[in-house]
Structure 1
Amino acid sequence: MIRVIKHILIEPTADRADRIDSIRAAILAAFPDATTEIVPGLLDDDLVVEVRLPLSQLDEWQAVRKRWGDFSAVGHDIERRIA
């Protein structure tokens, strides 16, 4: 299966761990076939959520990603944006 890799940059903040958990939960709820991994960013303190999803879901990803915005909300607010 061909997969597309998308990256979501997570800058260092006090609530970063909660944001990462919420982002991963939102992604997996919207795209059950996706996989996520946390990888180092280009800058020392940055992390990246690396998302791999089937190529067939690329159009859907773009639509859903616009609804998610910049993931600035923590917790259930991100998960509510899926609907």
Structure 2
Amino acid sequence: MTASMRRTGRLEVAPDGKSLVLIDVDQRKPGTQREVRYEITPAELIAAIRAHGAELAGESHAHKPLAHIGQVARSPLNT
């Protein structure tokens, strides 16, 4: 990651192939990496995009947490 990229998100297919895993990686604290995973269905992802819109790279919008999406695991990782 570059110095300016402190928080990233990625979307992967879950091992069961029926849902998606949204992975939020936070490296804002120097020397610490925190990863939070959310498991969602494709229908939940579509509903979240419809309700909150989509942010394009370079746009600056207030972050709206996806609290309504089921959280799978919270695992702080020290790097």
Q: TM-score range by the shorter chain?
A: 0.3 to 0.5
Instruction: Provide TM-score, normalisation by structure 1.
Output: 0.34
| Structure (1/2) with the larger strand percentage | 2
| Structure (1/2) with the larger helix percentage | 1
- Greater gyration radius: 2
Instruction: Provide TM-score, normalisation by structure 2.
Output: 0.35
